[in-house]
Structure 1
């Protein structure tokens, strides 16, 4: 970037006198800028023509001229940054923003949040980490799951304020009386983000690709075949009834990309840039549902803006600030909620812990001050005794039980479970139980090879738009359960889930699933620990922000008032 190089040269000229007028020869200036005297004269002419400085030379070789500065490097950098953003040159803007953290904060501050740039309403979100590639199937991070929902569409979808799936790429669907044949009638006017027309054959090809993934093969275990019944109808034929099918097709892991171009979708936003420093989305002109008012959304990946501790975000991964963190006094809380997702503890049945010891350990966690005294940021977590609202833990009578001498705990992210593990280790030591702690450095259990020696496991369960269905998916697909339960226990669990999914009535199906989880809690196999307090803050003027179940907000609903002229 030529302008950036010229700015760096200007800064080298500026530094020796901190902007005060200088008396120097061309040779001295050239050595300072690591260039020839001829090139130095060209640079001075260009900078003077741009209004950056004034250079008055003296005739004669080696004579000293007068160098007067007319602008600070910081003001020039900010001006160039704004020009790059207005021109849609985000990568150039990021190159200009490569500064020390303190300088970067002040430089980016005017450009974060919601702004009209070059007649384009744009929302810029600072983010604490690079985003993982958007692979097909399940994704570990909330931000990636949310992005998948903005870029890709499914045959069905979930909407705010409803746990029931709605039509998306499919206008509607019908189900045979025996529940074994599902017909999804697809819109005939769909377009991919590259402008090409969508065909039902392409959607069929992509669905078949998804079903080749092991995790999604488990999710759609009841599906025997998918067929193209006619040019705009996809038919699912099942081995056994599955009245979660429309829910499964609405989940983020089942969203449909182009079968040959995995980053092209049909969602409200198309992916324009995806790098370690910048992710940029732009609205899809041919979107088949309500068009977003925002034209662009950008994630500025600036880790140096934030503390380097594990788990930090704009303020924290569950507390998003749309704007510069140092200017939080200008931000206003626009939405907050207690997450339905939860951190949990599981205990391996029939191993070193007897049923009575397992119950005693759960009571230690919930009937002492252990959860209430975790040294965490205020208003970050809420201890919980229920998996979902109304799904309460059982209450057992007190028992005089001695815990084993040694236990092993395995856990993964989030960072709060580091604190929980250490707190539990210290507390159990006072009871004569030595707790060995093993950390699986990931957001989920994928790739974990240390299950065999663990008696206790802690993790984080994200809850999607349909809470009951999401928990059913967890039991069916997560690697935790076949590694926690014995083979007969796991087979019994899967058979129970198959029986639950046969229930066509949604409330009855949910009640049957609740019974499955109550059994797991009653046997002290599973217990909730705490929920998060989701919070989003934004500068004045960013409208339409409402927290969803993943702690994000639908970009298609956010909007910016037109600027005053």
Structure 2
């Protein structure tokens, strides 16, 4: 990018005298800009033609001239950034933004939030960390899960204000009386983001690739085969009835990418750029459902900016601000709510802890204000004694059983569990129990080698659009359970889940699953700790934002009023 190189050279000139008029020679300027005298003369001429400076040379070899710099480099960079964004040159804009964090904060201010750029409604979101790759199957981060739902479609989907899966790539489905044959009838006008027509064979291949993933194998263990029984019909043949099947297919982990092009989907937005600095989505012109109002959504990712002050954009991963980072007071809370997802404590049953000791640990956490007094930001977490609303943990008589001399606690992100683990360690020390704390630096238990030996585990359980189904999926697929429970206990749990999924009646299925979790809470194997308070703030003029179960909002529903002419 020649203009950027020229701007960087101008920045060096500015640094000589902070913009003050100076008497200097071409040779001195060339030395400061690390170029030849000849190239320096060319640069001076180009910068003068652009109106950046005024150069009055003196005739004669070695004569000194007068250099007057007319515009601050920050103003030039801001103008160039706006031109790049207006013309859709995001990569050039990224190159322009590679400056010091404090300068970047000021530079990005006017371009974040909702703007009409070059007659295009665009939403720009500052984000606090690089995003992980969007790979098929389960993803650990809420932002990545949300993006997968915006870019890729499933045979079914979840929609706002409904816990029932709805049609997506399949406009409807039917099931045989014995629950072993499910037919999903496809839309006949589906298109991939690259413009190609979607075929049933491609969707069949994508599903078969998904089912090769270990976690998805567990999720779809009842599926015997997927057949094309009509050019626009996919038929699932099952080993045993599974009335969670439409829910499983609506999960973000079951969204389908092109079998040969894993970044190409059929969702409302197509992926244009996915880098450590910028993620850009653009609306899919051939989307088979309601078209988005926004043309583009961008994540501007500047981790170095937020290391010093998370409050500039994203005070916490669950509290998202869309807009100018230095002007948060202009942003308006547009949607908030208590997450159904929760942080939890799990205890290994029948190992170093007796049932009475396990119950006492739960009582220590919930009856000593240990959670309520965590030194965290106000309005960030809410202590909870329920897994889901109405799924209350048991009340036991006060336990006084002495704790073991030593215990081991293993935990993963979020950061609040750092504080929780340290608080618990200090408290147990006063009771004569030495707690060894081990941190697994991840958002989930994947790849954790200490799961099979720790006495206690703390983690975070995200909840999707249908809470009951999400918890069933957790028991089936998370590495926690086969490592926490003994082999017979885990086998019994899976057999119980198989019996639950046979229930065709939804309410009976929900109740049967609740019974499973009641048992886990009754024996203190699982205990809820706290929920997060999700919050989204946006500048005036960004409409259609409604908090979803992952603390985000459907990009396809957001919109920007047309600008006044």
TM-score of the superposition, structure 1-length normalised?
0.99
1:86-165 matches, within 5 Å, as: 86-165=86-165
2:197 pairs with 1:202:
no
- Structure 2 counterpart of 1:322: 322
Give the Å deviation of 1:311. Answer: 12
2:238 pairs with 1:248:
no
Q: Provide the rounded CA distance (Å) in 1 between the counterparts of 2:324 and 2:412.
A: 30
Task: Classify the secondary structure of the residue corresponding to 1:27.
Answer: helix
Task: Classify the secondary structure of the residue corresponding to 1:271.
Answer: strand
Q: Provide the rounded CA distance (Å) in 2 between the counterparts of 1:487 and 1:309.
A: 46
**Contact 1:128–1:312 (8 Å) recurs in 2:** no
2:17 pairs with 1:31:
no
Q: Provide the rounded CA distance (Å) in 1 between the counterparts of 2:328 and 2:314.
A: 10
The 1:313/1:226 distance shift into structure 2, 3 A limit, reads farther
**Contact 2:153–2:267 (8 Å) recurs in 1:** yes
**Contact 1:175–1:183 (8 Å) recurs in 2:** yes
CA deviations over 1:466-517 (Å, ceiling 9, x no partner): 1000000000110000000000000000010011100001111101101100
Task: Classify the secondary structure of the residue corresponding to 1:457.
Answer: strand
Give the Å deviation of 1:117. Answer: 0.7
Task: Classify the secondary structure of the residue corresponding to 1:377.
Answer: coil
- Structure 1 counterpart of 2:53: 53
Q: Provide the rounded CA distance (Å) in 2 between the counterparts of 1:563 and 1:199.
A: 41
2:267 pairs with 1:230:
no
The 1:313/1:72 distance shift into structure 2, 3 A limit, reads closer
Q: Provide the rounded CA distance (Å) in 1 between the counterparts of 2:87 and 2:265.
A: 26
Task: Classify the secondary structure of the residue corresponding to 2:349.
Answer: coil
What residue ranges of structure 2 are gaps of 5+ in the alignment?
A: none
Task: Classify the secondary structure of the residue corresponding to 2:534.
Answer: strand
**Contact 1:311–1:317 (8 Å) recurs in 2:** no
- Structure 1 counterpart of 2:505: 505
Q: Provide the rounded CA distance (Å) in 1 between the counterparts of 2:466 and 2:437.
A: 33
1:121-520 matches, within 5 Å, as: 121-307=121-307, 314-520=314-520
Task: Classify the secondary structure of the residue corresponding to 1:532.
Answer: strand
The 1:523/1:313 distance shift into structure 2, 3 A limit, reads farther
Q: Provide the rounded CA distance (Å) in 2 between the counterparts of 1:309 and 1:155.
A: 42
Task: Classify the secondary structure of the residue corresponding to 2:346.
Answer: strand
Tell me whether 15-24 or 459-468 shows the greater mean CA deviation.
Answer: 15-24
Q: Provide the rounded CA distance (Å) in 2 between the counterparts of 1:203 and 1:310.
A: 41
Q: Provide the rounded CA distance (Å) in 2 between the counterparts of 1:96 and 1:307.
A: 21
**Contact 1:192–1:264 (8 Å) recurs in 2:** yes
The 1:412/1:192 distance shift into structure 2, 3 A limit, reads same
Give the Å deviation of 1:30. Answer: 1.2
Task: Classify the secondary structure of the residue corresponding to 1:237.
Answer: strand
Q: Provide the rounded CA distance (Å) in 1 between the counterparts of 2:61 and 2:307.
A: 52
Large movers: runs of 4+ above 2 Å: 307-313
Q: Provide the rounded CA distance (Å) in 2 between the counterparts of 1:176 and 1:17.
A: 81
**Contact 1:313–1:319 (8 Å) recurs in 2:** no
Give the Å deviation of 1:386. Answer: 0.1
Q: Provide the rounded CA distance (Å) in 2 between the counterparts of 1:366 and 1:467.
A: 23
Task: Classify the secondary structure of the residue corresponding to 1:428.
Answer: helix
Give the Å deviation of 1:308. Answer: 5.3
Q: Provide the rounded CA distance (Å) in 1 between the counterparts of 2:8 and 2:313.
A: 31
Q: Provide the rounded CA distance (Å) in 2 between the counterparts of 1:400 and 1:48.
A: 83
Give the Å deviation of 1:307. Answer: 2.8
Task: Classify the secondary structure of the residue corresponding to 2:510.
Answer: helix
**Contact 1:292–1:557 (8 Å) recurs in 2:** yes
Tell me whether 342-351 or 56-65 shows the greater mean CA deviation.
Answer: 56-65
CA deviations over 1:114-147 (Å, ceiling 9, x no partner): 1111111111111111111111000011011000
The 1:141/1:308 distance shift into structure 2, 3 A limit, reads farther
**Contact 2:385–2:393 (8 Å) recurs in 1:** yes
**Contact 1:184–1:235 (8 Å) recurs in 2:** yes
The 1:548/1:399 distance shift into structure 2, 3 A limit, reads same
Q: Provide the rounded CA distance (Å) in 1 between the counterparts of 2:399 and 2:443.
A: 35
What residue ranges of structure 1 are gaps of 5+ in the alignment?
A: none
Task: Classify the secondary structure of the residue corresponding to 2:351.
Answer: coil
TM-score of the superposition, structure 2-length normalised?
0.99
Task: Classify the secondary structure of the residue corresponding to 1:437.
Answer: strand
**Contact 1:13–1:33 (8 Å) recurs in 2:** yes
